[in-house]
Structure 1
Amino acid sequence: MIKAKKKFGQNFLKDESIKAKIIQAIPHNADNIVEIGAGLGDLTTRLLELNARVKSYEIDDDLVPILRDKFKSQIQSGEFSLVHSDALSAWDDGLSDEPYFLVANLPYYVATKMILNAIKDPLCKGLLVMVQREVAVKFSAKSGSSEYSALAVLADLASKARLLFDVEAVSFDPPPKVTSSVIEIIKHKSLVGDVFSSDKEFVMFCDFLKAAFSAPRKVLVKNLASKFKKDAVLEAFKELKMAENIRPHELNTTLYLEIFKKVNNGK
Structure 2
Amino acid sequence: MDKIKAKKKYGQNFLKDDTVLSMIIQSMPNNNNHIVEIGPGLGDLTKNLVKCKDVTAYEVDTDLFAILKTKFAIPIDSGSLTLIHADVLESWTKQKSLHNSKYDLIANLPYYIATNIILRAFEDEACEHIIVMVQKEVAEKFSANEGDKEFSALGVISKLCSIESKILFDVPPESFDPPPKVTSSILYIKKDMSKTMDKNFNSFLKACFQQPRKKLSKNVSSIVPKETISSLFEELEISDNIRPHELSASLYSQIYTKAIIDGREQNSTE
- Normalising TM by the smaller chain, what interval? over 0.9
| Alignment match of 1:211 (pick from 207, 212, 223) | 207
Count of aligned residue pairs for this structure pair: 258
- Residue in 1 aligned with 2:154? 151
Maintained 8 Å contact 1:163/1:182: yes
Tell me if structure 2 keeps the 8 A contact 1:30–1:101. Answer: no
The answer for unaligned runs of 5 or more in structure 2 is: 265-270
CA–CA distance in structure 2, aligned partners of residues 138 and 30 of structure 1: 29
Q: Which moved more, 1:140-149 or 1:205-214?
A: 205-214
Q: Does 1:106 align with 2:109?
A: yes
Contact in 2 for aligned 1:232/1:262 (Cα 8 Å): no
**Structure 1 residues 31 and 208, CA gap change in structure 2 (3 angstroms):** closer
Distance 1:203 1:49 in 2: 36
Give me the whole-angstrom Cα distance separating, in 2, the residues matched to 1:20 and 1:61. Answer: 27
Deviation at 1:204, TM superposition (A): 2.4
25, 28, 34: which is aligned to 2:27?
A: 25
Q: CA deviation at 1:81?
A: 0.8
Residue 165 of structure 1: SS of its match in structure 2?
A: strand
Q: Cα distance 1:30–1:147, how it changes in 2: closer, same or farther (>3 A)?
A: farther
* Paired residues of 2:33 and 2:102 also in contact (CA < 8 A): no
Which residue number corresponds to residue 132 of structure 2?
129
Matches within 5 A, 1:92-241: 92=93, 93=95, 94-159=97-162, 160-192=164-196, 202-241=198-237
1:257 aligns with 2:253: yes
Deviates more, 1:150-159 or 1:64-73: 64-73
Counterpart Cα distance in 2 of 1:139 and 1:222:
24
CA displacement at 1:65 relative to structure 2:
2.2
Q: TM (normalized to structure 1)?
A: 0.93
- Which of structure 1's runs of 4+ aligned residues deviate more than 3 A? none
Determine which of 29, 45, 48 is the counterpart of 1:46. 48
Correspondence for 2:90? 89
Aligned to 2:63: 62
Amino acid at match of 1:10: Q
Rounded Cα–Cα distance in structure 1 between residues aligned with 2:153 and 2:232? 19
CA shift, 1:227, in A, is: 1.4
- The answer for unaligned runs of 5 or more in structure 1 is 197-201
SS at match of 1:34: strand
* Residue identity opposite 2:18 in structure 1: E
Task: Report the residue type matching 2:88 in the other structure.
Answer: A
1:266 Cα deviation from its structure 2 partner: 4.4
Any idea what SS the aligned residue of 2:151 has? coil
Aligned residues of 1:120 and 1:190 also touching (Cα < 8 A): no
Judge which range, 20-29 or 68-77, deviates more: 68-77
2:207 corresponds to which letter in structure 1? A
Which amino acid in the other structure matches residue 107 of structure 1?
P
Within 1, Cα distance between the matches of 2:204 and 2:240? 18
What is the alpha-carbon root mean square deviation over aligned residues? 1.4
Q: Distance in 2 between matches of 1:134 and 1:256?
A: 22
